[in-house]
């Protein structure tokens, strides 16, 4: 697989992963609103620094799983159930709005960089998410676990994360009161994404029968 294609896949998958409002993107948006655009960008760079490490660890873990198909079969079935439950929750059950109000007293650009590192380190979801997605792409032949492909994917994931954080920074003041950020819309978006992942997982399970 061409490394440019692998880069784009990493970019898109990471971009999708950061779309739902959460601690990192809402923090970046609030820092930008309160302290200026530059500090929001510095915070985002700190976040992406950790994303690089997390995605690399995820890819190495996925490579290990790829060499142990008996473990993968179990994880696929568990992942399918989890993603279906998440989809059902966000599409049919979830109603409460998120609480994006994040207060902080850190002011310097350097501190904002380390603040981004700290908050991103607390968010461990990218590791299983990226491990599963790289494993899924490998099963379709879209990616191999050679070093050059892993590094290309990691670079794409970091760039995709930064772009989505920047979108929050740039547009949040304009869209925060519009339907884009309504809880109902975001629930449908999250449910749709997880539903798509569940469908891909199901296809993989059926292929192995």
For helices 69-88 and 126-139, the axis angle rounded to 10 degrees is: 120
Dist CA 54 CA 18 (whole Å): 14
Residue 205 has pLDDT above 90, yes or no: no
39-73 burial, b if ≥16 CB within 10 A, otherwise e?
A: bbbbbbbbbbbbbebbbbebbebbbebbeeeeebe
What are the residues whose beta carbons fall under 8 Å from the beta carbon of 162, sequence distance 6 or more?
Answer: 44, 45, 47, 48
What does the mean pLDDT of the chain come to? 79
pLDDT at 11: 94
Q: Which domain holds residue 165?
A: 3-99+107-208
Could you report the per-residue pLDDT of 4-17, keeping only the tens digit for each? 899 999 999 998 88
pLDDT at 154: 95
Could you report the per-residue pLDDT of 142-194, keeping only the tens digit for each? 888 888 999 999 999 999 999 999 988 887 766 555 554 455 666 676 677 77
pLDDT at 149: 92
Structural domain count of the chain: 1
128-164 burial, b if ≥16 CB within 10 A, otherwise e?
A: ebbbbbbbbbbbeeebebeeebbbbbbbbbbbbbbeb
- The predicted model scores a pTM of 0.71
């Amino acid at each position: 697989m061409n490394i440019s294609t692998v880069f784009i896949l990493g970019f898109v998958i990471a971009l999708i992963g950061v779309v739902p409002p959460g601690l990192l993107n809402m923090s970046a948006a609030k820092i930008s609103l309160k302290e200026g655009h530059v500090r929001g960008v510095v915070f985002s760079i700190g976040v992406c620094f950790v994303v690089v490490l997390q995605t690399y660890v995820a890819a190495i873990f996925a490579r290990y799983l790829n060499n142990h198909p008996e473990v993968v079969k179990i994880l696929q079935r568990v992942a399918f159930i989890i993603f279906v439950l998440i989809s059902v929750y966000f599409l049919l059950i979830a109603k409460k709005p998120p609480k994006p109000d994040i207060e902080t007293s850190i002011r310097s650009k350097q501190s904002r960089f380390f603040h981004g590192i700290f908050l991103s380190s607390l968010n461990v979801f990218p590791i299983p998410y990226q491990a599963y997605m790289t494993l899924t792409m490998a099963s379709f032949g879209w990616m191999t676990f050679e070093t050059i492909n892993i590094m290309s994917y990691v670079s794409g994931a970091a760039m995709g994360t930064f772009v989505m954080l920047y979108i929050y920074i740039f547009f949040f003041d304009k869209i925060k009161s519009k339907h884009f950020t309504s809880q109902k819309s975001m629930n449908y978006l999250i449910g749709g994404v997880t539903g798509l992942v569940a469908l891909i997982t199901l296809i993989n399970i059926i292929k192995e029968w």
